Amino acid sequence: MTFKLGIVVGHTDAAGGAVGLNLPREYDYHKSVASDMLAFAQSEFSHGGQIALEVRVFFRDGIGVSGAYKQVNNWVGTDASRAATIELHYNAATPAASGTETLSSGSARSLELSKRVHSGLCSLLGRSGQSRGIKVRNRTHKERGWLSLVSGRPPAIITEPAFGSNPSDAALLKEKKFLIGREIIRRSKLYFDEIVGG
């Protein structure tokens, strides 16, 4: 049976999000990352006509957060138990701010997906410990990103692998751009295998 992973590209072409040091805007950066993630999933998890992990990319352009997640819901259908959604971002703040964080709605499955993806990204980027950790955003904790995490039926998370405003983090985002996306795919498949089951 097939698992479904929706990838939502953060921000829009009109409002492209943060601009990192020697990096494209978040939207442009993640548009190409999402395209590579789709190709990687098709290569790694589709064999002999069997699709173990189906990935589709969604955009917020012209429809906003709610519209993008409505498209995810339509694609997934009424049974969201074998699906999940990940929205792609990178952070920006002062040059001193750095680290990896993942945002979760706080639901059991969102937290399980967050743990796996966050751990994989910290390992890939050479972070000690859990870096900035997993942060809950939902209708109770209405901080940055909360609407994305509660707008769809499948469990959802937001990835923030590094700070584009920090020189060292920006270098990691540039050097490991496609490796980050592929690690998200691998860890998502691990979540499906371990938590959702075959």
d(CA 58, CA 69): 8
User: 129: Cβ–Cβ under 8 A, 6 or more apart, which residues?
Assistant: 122
Overall number of domains in the chain:
1
Percentage, residues of the chain above pLDDT 70: 98
Tell me the C-alpha distance between 134 and 5, whole Å. 20
Three-state secondary structure call for residue 124: helix
pLDDT at 40: 98
Average pLDDT over residues 139-168: 96
The pLDDT, as a whole number, for residue 82 is 96
What are the tokens at 150? Answer: 């509660």
The whole-number pLDDT of residue 46 equals 87
Domain span at residue 128? 3-196
Lowest mean pLDDT among 42-51, 80-89, 153-162: 42-51
pLDDT band at 161 (very low <50, low <70, confident <90, very high): very high
| 12-25 per-position pLDDT tens digit | 999 999 999 999 99
**Domain CATH for 74:** 3.40.630.40
